[in-house]
């Protein structure tokens, strides 16, 4: 397993660009199951999750042709409708094939996705929504088996105890495009990724209105055709790069920055003392060039993660890393995934002063962080450790960076292009999460201490 080795303290400067959004791309790719015509994607991010989704779709009868950041998918065989456990368990988002397969083929078998590093990840809302459209849902040996002759439009409330469901909205909206009659989704997820999916589906011939608002209306059609689609920029990756610049008091320009999709984040960052300014007013704020600058001294802040347009849970860990260096006490409350704090003990190993009380963490700002060997656990927690390592004094090694490869394409190359001292070390030269050389030296340290 590869390891990142970071020498902290380098101020980030220069210009980078934001890749296509992972969380838009996964349901977009699944939408190719709704037609026998080809779907051409541009600006597809080069991520392991995208590779895994492409493998799953190939198993489900899709021809996949990938070149650079373009992918073309076309279903040529509709006989296999089973998303196997060994793929689903590696990527929970595989569940977004459920709606398209059910609507197009009338049957689907998808392994129940397990939980993940930060707790339970139920799909009861997905199943409730599809049942409302007339699907028969059974559980067998850990698999969901859904069948329906023809889905029938219905009015569906998709709100759950933690707000709405992003992939649940994607599943129900996708399925409803081929249902008979009108479907109204109330308390739909408002995330921009849902609007991006609706844009593709409408270009395929669907009749969807209201995507991006809590009420989505879908008038079913008999079939969908091919389309070409450019994947929207990844707002979580963009926010991560902005925080990286701020952590090092850098001066970074970011192209394809979805400023309009990050207003909750830029609002908090401006309170902290981080300024993200669009450099060309003529550009579309959904994909524009910004400059990131930060005050020398950062202020504490209080925020709670919310469904969009609130502060995104996927940037909670990265924001915590930044607030570790603010001058005062910050309060972070996680309302979407109350257990999403795998990064807390690892940041503490780097000298952060964090006190967790249930779904809330109090961050007592410190003057500096100190490099240490730490372990990645889930995608965004891992990103926060990289950010902390960039700012820390000394060396940080981060093991299990495969978590990062799921959501950040060659993260070390992007950061190194801005001046970061970061290397990816081949996993074969690593023992117990530490590069072999460090392992030998640490054994010497242990002998001296013993």
Residues with a known catalytic role = 116
CB nearer ligand EPZ, residue 166 or residue 372 = 166
CB nearer ligand EPZ, residue 189 or residue 376 = 189
Question: Does residue number 250 form part of the binding site for ligand EPZ (CB under 6 A)?
Answer: no
Question: Does residue number 314 form part of the binding site for ligand EPZ (CB under 6 A)?
Answer: yes
For residues 364 to 393, the per-residue mask of contacts with ligand EPZ, x marking binding by CB under 6 A and - elsewhere, is: ---------------xx-------------
Question: Does residue number 346 form part of the binding site for ligand EPZ (CB under 6 A)?
Answer: no
The span from the CA of 247 to the CA of 153, in Å, is: 49
The span from the CA of 381 to the CA of 38, in Å, is: 37
Number of residues lying near ligand EPZ (CB under 6 A): 25
The span from the CA of 107 to the CA of 117, in Å, is: 30
Return the residues of window 6-25 that contact ligand EPZ according to CB under 6 A: 22-23
Q: For residue 411, which of 434, 388, 438, 382 has the smallest C-alpha distance?
A: 382
CB nearer ligand EPZ, residue 188 or residue 369 = 188
Question: Does residue number 194 form part of the binding site for ligand EPZ (CB under 6 A)?
Answer: no
Using the rule CB under 6 A, give the single segment among 132-140, 155-163, 173-181, 431-439 that binds ligand EPZ.
155-163
Shortest distance in whole angstroms from residue 121 CB to ligand EPZ: 6
Residue from 99, 168, 220, 433 touching ligand EPZ (CB under 6 A): that is 168
CB nearer ligand EPZ, residue 236 or residue 363 = 236
The span from the CA of 43 to the CA of 256, in Å, is: 11
Shortest distance in whole angstroms from residue 16 CB to ligand EPZ: 19
Shortest distance in whole angstroms from residue 187 CB to ligand EPZ: 11
Peptide bond before residue 309 is cis, with ω within 30 degrees of 0: yes
| Cα–Cα distances in angstroms (integers) from residue 423 to residues 11, 29, 251, 386, 417, in the given order | 16, 32, 22, 11, 12
Q: For residue 315, which of 395, 253, 261, 372 has the smallest C-alpha distance?
A: 261
The span from the CA of 326 to the CA of 191, in Å, is: 29
Residue from 252, 336, 409, 420 touching ligand EPZ (CB under 6 A): that is 336
Q: What residues have CB less than 8 Å from 98, skipping those under 6 apart?
A: 83, 108, 110, 126, 130, 144, 146, 171, 175
Using the rule CB under 6 A, give the single segment among 11-19, 64-72, 160-168, 255-263 that binds ligand EPZ.
160-168
Using the rule CB under 6 A, give the single segment among 116-124, 143-151, 173-181, 199-207 that binds ligand EPZ.
116-124
For residues 22 to 61, the per-residue mask of contacts with ligand EPZ, x marking binding by CB under 6 A and - elsewhere, is: xx--x-----------------------------------
Shortest distance in whole angstroms from residue 263 CB to ligand EPZ: 16
CB nearer ligand EPZ, residue 252 or residue 336 = 336
Alpha carbons within 13 angstroms on the beta-carbon side of residue 316 total: 31
Using the rule CB under 6 A, give the single segment among 29-37, 156-164, 280-288, 394-402 that binds ligand EPZ.
156-164
Question: Does residue number 93 form part of the binding site for ligand EPZ (CB under 6 A)?
Answer: yes
Q: For residue 58, which of 94, 24, 90 has the smallest C-alpha distance?
A: 94
Shortest distance in whole angstroms from residue 188 CB to ligand EPZ: 11
Extract long-range pairs of 279-283: CB within 8 Å, 24+ residues apart. Answer: 279/253
Shortest distance in whole angstroms from residue 25 CB to ligand EPZ: 9
Residue from 29, 31, 73, 166 touching ligand EPZ (CB under 6 A): that is 166
Question: Does residue number 233 form part of the binding site for ligand EPZ (CB under 6 A)?
Answer: no
Using the rule CB under 6 A, give the single segment among 137-145, 165-173, 198-206, 285-293 that binds ligand EPZ.
165-173
For residues 121 to 140, the per-residue mask of contacts with ligand EPZ, x marking binding by CB under 6 A and - elsewhere, is: xxxxxx--------------
Say if residues 447 and 440 touch (Cβ distance below 8 Å): no
Binding-site ranges for ligand EPZ (CB under 6 A): 22-23, 26, 93, 121-126, 160-162, 165-168, 189, 313-314, 336-337, 379-380, 407
């Amino acid at each position: 397993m590869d390891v990142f080795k970071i020498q902290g303290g380098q101020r980030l400067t220069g210009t980078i660009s934001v890749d296509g959004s992972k969380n838009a791309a996964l349901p977009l790719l699944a939408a190719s199951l709704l037609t026998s015509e080809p779907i051409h994607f541009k600006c597809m991010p080069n991520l392991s999750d995208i590779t895994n989704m492409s493998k799953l779709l190939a198993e489900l009868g899709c021809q996949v042709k990938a070149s650079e950041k373009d992918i073309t998918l076309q279903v040529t065989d509709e006989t296999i409708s089973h998303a196997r456990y060994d793929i689903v368990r590696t990527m929970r988002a595989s569940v977004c094939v459920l709606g398209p397969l059910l609507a197009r083929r009338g049957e689907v078998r998808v392994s129940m996705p397990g939980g993940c590093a930060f707790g339970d990840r139920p799909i009861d809302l997905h199943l409730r929504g599809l049942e409302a459209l007339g699907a028969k849902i059974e559980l067998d040996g850990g698999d969901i088996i859904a069948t329906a002759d023809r889905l029938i439009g219905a009015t569906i409330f998709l709100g759950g105890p933690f707000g709405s469901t992003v992939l649940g909205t994607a599943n129900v909206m996708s399925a409803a495009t081929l249902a008979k009659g009108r479907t109204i989704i109330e308390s739909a997820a408002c995330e921009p990724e849902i609007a991006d999916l609706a844009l593709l589906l409408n270009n395929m011939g669907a009749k969807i209105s209201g995507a991006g608002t809590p009420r989505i209306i879908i008038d079913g059609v008999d079939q969908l055709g091919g389309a070409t689609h450019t994947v929207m920029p990844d707002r979580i990756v963009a926010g991560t790069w902005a925080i990286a610049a701020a952590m090092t008091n850098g001066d970074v320009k970011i192209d394809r920055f979805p400023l309009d999709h990050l207003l909750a984040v830029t609002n908090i960052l401006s309170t902290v003392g981080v300024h993200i300014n669009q450099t060309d007013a003529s550009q579309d704020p959904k994909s524009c060039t910004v400059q990131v600058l930060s005050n020398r001294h950062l202020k504490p802040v209080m925020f709670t993660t919310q469904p969009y347009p609130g502060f995104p849970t996927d940037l909670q860990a990265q924001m915590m890393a930044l607030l570790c260096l603010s001058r005062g006490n910050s309060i972070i409350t996680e309302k979407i995934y109350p257990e999403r704090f795998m990064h807390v003990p690892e940041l503490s190993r780097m000298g952060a002063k964090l006190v967790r009380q249930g779904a809330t963490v109090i961050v007592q700002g410190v003057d500096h962080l100190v490099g240490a060997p730490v372990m990645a656990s889930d995608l965004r927690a891992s990103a926060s450790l990289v950010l902390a390592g960039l700012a820390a004094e000394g060396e940080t090694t981060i093991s299990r960076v495969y978590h990062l490869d799921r959501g950040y394409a060659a993260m070390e190359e992007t950061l190194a292009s801005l001046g970061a001292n970061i290397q990816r070390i081949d996993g074969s030269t690593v023992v117990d999460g530490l590069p072999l050389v460090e392992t030998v030296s640490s054994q010497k340290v242990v002998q001296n201490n013993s």
